[in-house]
Amino acid sequence: MKTLIMTLLLTLSLNVSAADCFDLLAGQFTDAGDVCLEVNGDDLTVTYTTQDGWMLDETQLWVGSDLADMPQNRKGNPKIGNFPYKAEGLFPATSYSYTLSLSALGVTSCGSQLYVAAHAVVGVDNGGGLQTETGWSAGDRFVSRGSWATYSTYTVPCDDPNGGGGTGGCETAYAVGDRTLISLGITNSRWGWEITGVTPGSYNYPIYAGAGQNDLSKGTHVGTLVVSYTCPPFGGCLMSVTYDMFGGFELNATHLYVGSDHLQSIAPGSYGNIHENLNGATQDNFVLNLSGGAYNIVAHGVVCGE
């Protein structure tokens, strides 16, 4: 059977988070529903939901902090028969949920990373009988050849969807740009911004924490994102991106996306440039080699302080 690995970067919240959902693909290409994840108190809830006549027959789930601990074969594909969470004989159910303790999974603070493998067997009446397919949550390919298994990343913010506080005085933060993540079509509820069309030059962008619903009045101005983009006449282009925190605020983690295309995934763990376990740094810097032209930037961080 085919499988999925979804890399989830979790930031622990004591509130109820908005669910983020990934398509549940039947036979690799048919959208048969969703796999949704959300934090409820101290638990992670994973919910399978079907649509358009598709129904669940089986679900298998593994979650852990180290991918090496997942039941797998020599090629690295998960062995779903050995997954610890499973349900069979569900047909004709259209929804099924698992609730897992975050602390039991080793999640104790913002920035903790989990890996999740989710599998389902789904069926639909195609007019000539029951058609059954393997289903996996949509994402990037897990292995380059053979299995069409994919992985995705998912971040539960430190603050609640409306901008409330998070664990240990830490909150999600973004540099303010000209497009919201909602307007990019990659989320229905998560706040945050993309800075678009950055050309060579020097720029400053405010960093806000806890600005739920992209409402700056709900957030706190915690620092400045300093961008310096240079393209010498001879040689490659360089972009320096610096998170510069105000007094009283510290960084726990930073996640930076820089690309000629718009951001494709809401999860900061997929941004491509990641610094974690910063342990109270007041400044963090990325230097990127670029080919020139205009770039889009999404600067996410986990900020702790006042």
Q: What pLDDT digit, counting tens, does each position of 242-286 carry?
A: 999 999 999 988 999 999 999 988 777 778 899 988 888 999 999
Q: Residue 68: CB partners within 8 Å, gap ≥ 6?
A: none
Q: Which of 148, 143, 154, 150 is nearest to 118 (CA)?
A: 150
Residue with tokens 């770039």: 295
Q: How far is residue 278's CA from residue 216's CA, in Å, rounded to a whole number?
A: 25
How distant, in Å, are the alpha carbons of 83, 106, 205, 256 from that of 100? 14, 11, 38, 29
1 exposure class (CB count in 10 Å sphere: 0-12, 13-18, 19+): middle
Q: Would you tell me how many other CB atoms lie within 10 Å of the CB of residue 73?
A: 9
* Lookup result for tokens 């593994």: 62
Decide which of 16 and 240 is more confident.
240
pLDDT of 200 reads 95
Question: CA-to-CA distance for 164 and 218, rounded, in angstroms?
Answer: 9
End-to-end Cα distance, the chain: 49
| DSSP single-letter state for residue 132 | E
Decide which of 107 and 143 is more confident: 143
Query: What is the spatial distance between Cα 282 and Cα 300, in angstroms, rounded to a whole number?
Result: 15
Query: Which carries the bigger pLDDT value, residue 232 or residue 37?
Result: 232
Express each pLDDT in 15-31 by its tens digit.
445 566 778 889 989 99
DSSP-derived letter for residue 28 is T
pLDDT digits 0-9 by tens, 68-104: 787 888 887 878 899 999 999 999 999 999 998 877 8
> Beta strand pairing status for 113-125 and 130-137?
antiparallel
Q: What pLDDT, on the 0 to 100 scale, is given for residue 163?
A: 41
Q: How far apart are the C-alpha atoms of 144 and 148, rounded to whole Å? A: 8
Cα angle 230, 258, 272; round to 5: 130
Percent pLDDT > 90 in the chain is 46
249 CB contacts (<8 Å, ≥6 apart)?
209, 222, 223, 282, 303, 304, 305, 306
Burial of 130 (0-12, 13-18, 19+ CB in 10 A): exposed
